[in-house]
Structures are given as C-alpha cells and as structure tokens.
Amino acid sequence: MDKLIVEGGYKLQGTVNISGSKNASLPILAAALLTDEPVRISRVPDVSDTNYMIQILSQLGASVERSSGTVRIESPDGISSSASYDQVRKMRASICLLGPMMARMHRCTLPLPGGCVIGDRPVDLHVRAIQALGARVRVKGGNLVIEAPNGLVGTTVDMRGDNGPTVLGTDNLMMAAVLARGTTVIESAAREPEVVDLANFLNKMGARIEGAGSRTITIHGVERLHGCEHTVIPDRIEAGTFMVAGIMCSDTGITLNRVCEEHLGAISALLRECGHTVNFNEAGDSVFVKAGEKPTSGKILTAPYPAYPTDMQAQMTALFSVTPGISVVKDTIFPQRFMHCSELKRMGANIKVDSGTAIITGVEGLSAAPVMASDLRASAALVLAALAAEGTTEIHRLYHIDRGYEMLDDKLMSLGAHVQRVPDPDEGKAEL
C-alpha cells in the first residue's frame, strides 16, 4: 500500500484536464453485457473501481481490451451468470451488474457488494425493482440469487428511498428494462448526469429510453441491442475537487479543461456565493477559478441532483476550515459521512459534528499532521487541506483516493504541488 507525502504551502498555477466520470463509467461498462456485439467506450478513467469492473467482466467471460482510456468489450453467448466475491466485495457499484445480467440471462448470482464505509447504503431498492419486473430473489450464502425463468416484464416502479432517488438503482432498472417485454416506467428516478449518460449509451445500442434527466423515465423494451461507440462525460466531482484546490492553494487561479458547466451548477453557485471567481468559457467546457479577496462562509445542504452533491461536501469542508466565519454543512444523503472531520481537526481545523451536521469555524491556517483517509471523498478533502497546510503531511490509506481520482498526484504536480507517493510500511499495522 502507498501513502502520499504532501509539502504544504506551494501555490498552484496552470491548467489541468479533467478525466472521464468514474460514476458514469461503471454502469456503462456493466451495460456492455447487454449485447454480444463489441462496444467501445472512451474516456474511461484509469482508477481502481473501473479496473475492478473490468476484471469482473473478464471473469464473467467477456473479452476486454484497454488502451489509452478506451475500453473495448465483447460479451459472447455463454458468459457466466455468477460473479466472484473476491472482486465484487471491493466496490459497491458492482451491484449495477444485476440489471444487465438479468436482462440478458434472466438469472444471476451476485455477492452483496462492498465499497466505502460511509453509512447505510442498502440494496433493497435494487431488489424491489427487479422483483417488480417479475424476478424471484433470495439471499443464500451472502449472495443475491435472482431468477426470472419467463423473462422480465415491464411495469411501473417507484424508485424513491428514504434519502431520495437512488442513482445505481435507477441505472439497474433501466438496464434490466431495455430487454424486458413491454414498457417500464421509472417514477422518482434519479436525475444525475451519470444516469443521462447511461441512457444515451443504451440508446446508441438500440434501446428506447425517454425522459432521462427527469423524475420519470420510460423504457420501451426491445428484442436485442447492438454494439456502439461512446465517450464518457467529464467527472463533475473531480472537477469540483480541483475547483476547490484552485481556490485554496493558488494566488493566480487555475484553469480546468474537459468539464461540463451544466453539471457543475450547484458547486459553481456555492463558490460564487462565498466570494470566489468561477468563469466558464462560452462552450462551457473550460473553467477558470480563483480565490476571492474577501471570502465568506457558506452553508451546504446536500440533496439529489441538481442540488449540492454529497460527494463534494468533504472537499468544501476543507475549504470552509480556512474561510473566515462560521460555515454549516448538513448531509441529508449520508448523515454519517463526516469521518474526515476528525482528521481535519488534527490539522488544526475547528469543526463540531452533530446529527449529520458539521459546524466549521474558519481558522487562519492549518498545520501538517499524519492523517488517515476513511473513504474516497474524505481522502480528497485531506489532500486539499495538506496542500494548504504549513509543513509536510502524510496521508495514509491512499487506496481510497485511487478508487476515484485518476493520476491525482501527477495532476497536482503538473500544477506545481509538491506531492510524492511512497510505500507505506505501516499500512498493515494500521488495519489491525
């Protein structure tokens, strides 16, 4: 395992390219199982989560080739309907195999998935959705065993959960429904750009999906899908993370290319409200960010898209830690997602957490300390804090950040940061 050594205080400048979306890539890779013809997917980020998904597809019998961000997948007849626990346990998004496997083979055995420990994230909505299409579901030996001997049949399904619509649940139901008999209507569908990107990919394959990006998605089942080519949308969370980095750690500002202005509306609005400069070009695919001369505190209430994303609250907490005044962050999606706060406090941040809400009183500066990453976005927050802190910070459990940020250390170094990835001899001890 590796750790990241970050020398704080170096100012960022220049331009960085944002990678393709990790959260869009995973269901799109899984959807390649819906056809026996080749599909070619570009801008797939080289992160551990996409690598795990590719390994799972290969284990199922698909032929997978990867080169320079492009993945070619061909899934011939006879692919396995049982996924391996050793791979599935490593990431929660492996649950999105359920939809395409049931659509194509009408059966699957899928170990209950793993991933970041950021609160209760049950798969009951996925199970309820596939049952609504006519499947039988049982749990045996830690596996979901699902069968639909007579195939799947379209119906109306409400995907609202206790904390709002589920993105992967909407993805799974769309993928299951594209080859079902009749029409499926998803009520309370997730509206995230990643859902729209999956729908666009499926439509290129010959699916008939309408309404993606709205609360109601209609899928007219077809008999078969074919191969296609597709380019994954930019990663809006990586973009948001670098926007915060440019504000926390630059005097002159930085420019981000390969972004999508429409997807960054809530993040951009908050940064502007806090007094910072956020300027997109006319095409909306490049943005310049710079810290304001008189930054102000802010308030975050996370909610499903297009509201402020839960995946960006940790990064903004790092920024609020050095912003004058009192800021408030309330996470309605994952109320337990504040494990980064205790590590930020080790660096001198003034944060109080209670009942899913963090109250941050800005301090003049942070100081280096050894810290431990607890999940993907917490890792990003600690990197941002370390870049702005005085001294040299060691960030352990770097594997968390490798799940979702492509070449983060290389990108930061290209902007002038002093970071170094080194082996962590204490990693095994830390896990005990």
Q: Which residues are catalytic?
A: 116
Helix (H, G, I), strand (E, B) or coil at 314: helix
Helix-strand-coil split of the chain, %, nearest 5? 35, 25, 40
Per the CB < 8 A criterion, the answer to whether 99 and 30 are in contact is: yes
Identify any residues that bridge with 371 across adjacent strands, giving them in sequence order.
395
Structure-block tokens of residue 383:
């990197």
Which residues does 425 contact at the CB level (< 8 Å), separation at least 6? none
In three-state form (DSSP H/G/I as H, E/B as E, the rest C), the secondary structure along 359-400 is EEECCCCCECCCEECCCHHHHHHHHHHHHHCECEEEEECCHH
Q: Please give the torsion angle defined by the CA atoms of residues 21, 23, 24 and 29, in that order, rounded to the nearest 10 degrees.
A: 110
CA distance linking residue 259 with residue 21, whole number of Å = 10
Helical (H) or strand (E) element with 57: helix 48-60
User: What DSSP string describes 126-164?
Assistant: HHHHHHHTT-EEEEETTEEEEE-TT--B--EEE-EETTE
CA distance linking residue 156 with residue 133, whole number of Å = 9
CA distance linking residue 316 with residue 341, whole number of Å = 11
CA distance linking residue 303 with residue 363, whole number of Å = 27
Sign of the Cα pseudo-torsion (94, 84, 377, 129, in order): positive
CA distance linking residue 356 with residue 329, whole number of Å = 8
CA distance linking residue 94 with residue 301, whole number of Å = 28
What length is written for the chain? 432
Q: What is the largest CA-CA distance in the chain?
A: 65
CA distance linking residue 416 with residue 396, whole number of Å = 22
